[in-house]
Structure 1
Amino acid sequence: MEARDGGEHDYVDRLRAQWAERIPTLDTSPADVVARILRIGALVGHAHERAIEAEALNRGEFELLAALRRAGHALRPREISTVTESPGASITKRLDRLEHAGLVERTVPERDRRGILVSLTPAGVTLVDRLFPEQVAREGAALAGLSDADRRRLAELLAVVLRTLEPNAY
């Protein structure tokens, strides 16, 4: 199987060639897009994980910190669970670790003592404000081979696919 651009074969080209040998009648062309998206996601994700592991964090903990930073205000654990798409038990465990590390704090609101609110500490804000721009830079580096117009077009096309798969997207 030849690479489409006349250049070297990538992981997906090799994968498809192997399947073509095993099941020649199977159309594996969706892998041209889907397998590449998954492979890119995995490679970028591993780079992000290495960076946050250096801070003694895991991906779920950083996502929780980033969700609080994006919100700009305290959130209830249930809200954090919703925006991070993580189970409540995972959120509780992450909050315990992050609170112990001094990155979040839990408070009981004066008016509603039924629940707790979670907010970033100044150390948590500083950490996210340092790590997130590094993450964006890694993502930019992954796209460095594309022109601005190509990046915009790719983003538009991927948004169509995502809206197909994500019924509540808007």
Structure 2
Amino acid sequence: MQTDAITAIVDQWKRERPDLDATPMLVIGRLFRLTDALDQRLRPPFAAAGIGNGDFDVLAALRRSGKPYALSAGELSRTVLVTTGAITKRVDRLETSGLVSRSVTENDSRGRLIALTKEGLELTDQLIATHLANQRLLLAGLGSEEQTQLADLLERLTSTLAAGEAQ
């Protein structure tokens, strides 16, 4: 079996500091490397469309919200898990590109509703199909059961970390 770079790093630490358990690096190090590798492989369709990953997150959040494909900046912020300042920057770019529009909310003249335009809806539908196909290809080395097991383990790790933050 071939040793990956993370295993080699852990083996070096075992040799240099046998008093320490470096095995957590086997998970955390691989997660970091995977994040970078996945980002590099998933980004090209967005770049070809002239948008960034974060911009796509906004478009996707609006699309999956259902008709009329519109949310407030606050709702977008909670859905995309970034600050309202980051949402504003993304929406500015998307509005300039004609992919979203802003309108005054009915309940509060200070509030703004961000909605997909027809062009934004069409682009989002194209990109999500491509994005999901890319994800399927990236996971093709794992069987269906393995994908489910990995998803469950990652959800458990995420919940554990979130519970630690709450304390």
TM-score interval, smaller chain: 0.7 to 0.9
Change in CA separation of 1:97 and 1:31 when aligned onto 2, cut-off 3 Å: same
Change in CA separation of 1:110 and 1:152 when aligned onto 2, cut-off 3 Å: closer
The unaligned stretches of length 5 or more in structure 1 are: 1-6
- Aligned equivalent of 1:86: 82
Deviations 1:81-140 (A, max 9, x none): 111121222211111111110100111134432311001111111111111222222222
- Aligned equivalent of 1:119: 115
- Aligned equivalent of 2:56: 62
**1:133 partner SS:** helix
What pairs up with 1:112-151 in 2 under 5 angstroms? 112-151=108-147
- Aligned equivalent of 2:36: 42
With normalisation by structure 2, the TM-score equals 0.86
Alpha-carbon distance between aligned partners in 2 of 1:120 and 1:157, rounded to the nearest angstrom: 35
Alpha-carbon distance between aligned partners in 2 of 1:45 and 1:94, rounded to the nearest angstrom: 18
Change in CA separation of 1:59 and 1:22 when aligned onto 2, cut-off 3 Å: farther
- Give, as a single letter, the amino acid of the residue that structure 1 aligns with 2:120: G
**1:146 partner SS:** coil
Contact 1:44 1:138 in 2 (8 A): no
Partner of residue 23 from structure 2, selected from 29, 33, 49: 29
- Aligned equivalent of 1:99: 95
- Across the two proteins, how many residue pairs are aligned to each other? 162
Partner of residue 45 from structure 2, selected from 31, 37, 51: 51
